[in-house]
Amino acid sequence: MDHEVKGRVAFAKIDVEGHESSVLRGMEVTLRHTDCLLVECSDLATDSKEPVLKLAAFFDERGFDSYRVGADCLLPLWGRHYHPLYDEWRYWSNVIAVRRDCAGLAEALAGLADVVGLDGAREEALLVGE
Amino acid sequence: MQLRTLITLHAAAATKTPERLPPDVRAREALKLVDSFGECDERTRRQAAYYALHPEQFWGDAHCEQVLDVVAKHCVNGLGLDIGANVGATLDAVRRCAGGEDCAGVIAFEPNPANLPLLREAADDDVTIVERAASDVADVTVAFNLPTGTDQVSCLCFFALMALPRRRASSSLQKRRATPSAASPPLMMRTPLMCSRRRWIMR
């Protein structure tokens, strides 16, 4: 990868059927000048099942915020935001990672990561549930 | 059975029950499920409970469009990488998120020769196709990855290939170890036959 890519990468999409960790390890140099990545995380038994935690930690160490992509929101995964349920219940889904120093984009994605108030009725029920 | 496992199973069953249970019951069970993993801060707890209550929102990639719109709006022009480009269906989305018409070009990695004709057809002038898989090892691997739902065909193909004389199979499928060189740069894996989700790797 690092042999082929010269220059700043604005966006990378990775869909390699469970081999995303190999690809990411092979693009260490490229990652240093990459702004944003979308990684498909497969849930298939035949594919490698690297934990989401490991993927989130990989991005965190390299200065990226990572999120699980949902229909109406993003779930933050890095650091204290990670919850083991995200690995216990795995779906075929996507993770998006954005470099923290890309201020505009990082802030825009963080704005999609607020689930509080997203679903009023359920949020109320969650409060009642306590 | 451990108490946590029991709680988890019960709570999981309850949260996955579609609207038959009142929302407050499902919400309570979701929180119980989240809490069974141990303590976390309140915001993370709420987010995990939301994940438990809305599994349908986190499956598949059809809903990525909204996020990609945000990326396209805020991106700074640069290169776009499409790693696992398949037949090129995502080239436009990658270009859009790398600056659209002003992007510095798109590099598409696709190792499957069966996909290359369609990928070339889909690629505009600004797309560079790399006919290799990206990886962290310098190696040549043959991967059999036939379409899902074709078990019988897959087995037939697999055994047919296994039945080939070893020398012929080796030459026709280029099954060999590689050494890093100019022609085969490191960090690449060549994968001559890879169609979709079912995979056998022969070494």
**What pLDDT is stored for residue A59 in this prediction?**
93
Residue A95 pairs in a beta bridge with A39, A68
Residues of chain B found within 8 Å of residue A73, distances taken between Cβ atoms: 50, 57
CA-CA-CA-CA torsion sign (A23, A24, A29, A35):
positive
Helix (H) / strand (E) element for A86: namely: helix A85-88
ipTM over 0.90: no
The CATH code that applies to domain B62-131 is 3.40.50.150
Instruction: State mean pLDDT over B24-35.
Output: 82
**What pLDDT is stored for residue B153 in this prediction?**
40
Cross-chain CB nearest to A126 (options B31, B185, B188): B31
- Per the CB < 8 Å rule, is B135 touching A26? yes
| Greatest mean pLDDT range, A21-25, A51-55, B79-83, B182-186 | B79-83
Q: What's the gap in Å between the CA of A51 and the closest CA on chain B?
A: 16
Q: Could you say which residues of chain A have pLDDT below 50?
A: 45-46
pLDDT at B95 over 90: yes
Residue (of B46, B100, B68, B69) closest to A129 by Cα position: B46
**What pLDDT is stored for residue A36 in this prediction?**
94
Q: How many other CB atoms are there within 10 angstroms of residue B34's CB atom?
A: 24
Instruction: State mean pLDDT over B85-98.
Output: 93
Residue (of A12, A18, A32, A4) closest to A92 by Cα position: A18
Query: What's the pLDDT band for B140 if we cut at 50, 70, 90?
Result: low
Query: What's the pLDDT band for B42 if we cut at 50, 70, 90?
Result: confident
Q: What's the gap in Å between the CA of B179 and the closest CA on chain A?
A: 16
Q: Where are the domains of chain B?
A: 3-58, 62-131, 137-203
Q: Does B153 touch chain A (CB under 8 A)?
A: no
Query: What's the pLDDT band for B4 if we cut at 50, 70, 90?
Result: low
**What pLDDT is stored for residue A32 in this prediction?**
92
Please give the mean pLDDT across all residues of chain B.
69
What order of strands is seen across the sheet that includes strand B139-140?
B133-134, B188-190, B139-140
Pairing of strands B139-140, B79-83: unpaired
Q: Does A94 touch chain B (CB under 8 A)?
A: yes
Residues of chain B found within 8 Å of residue A46, distances taken between Cβ atoms: 197-199
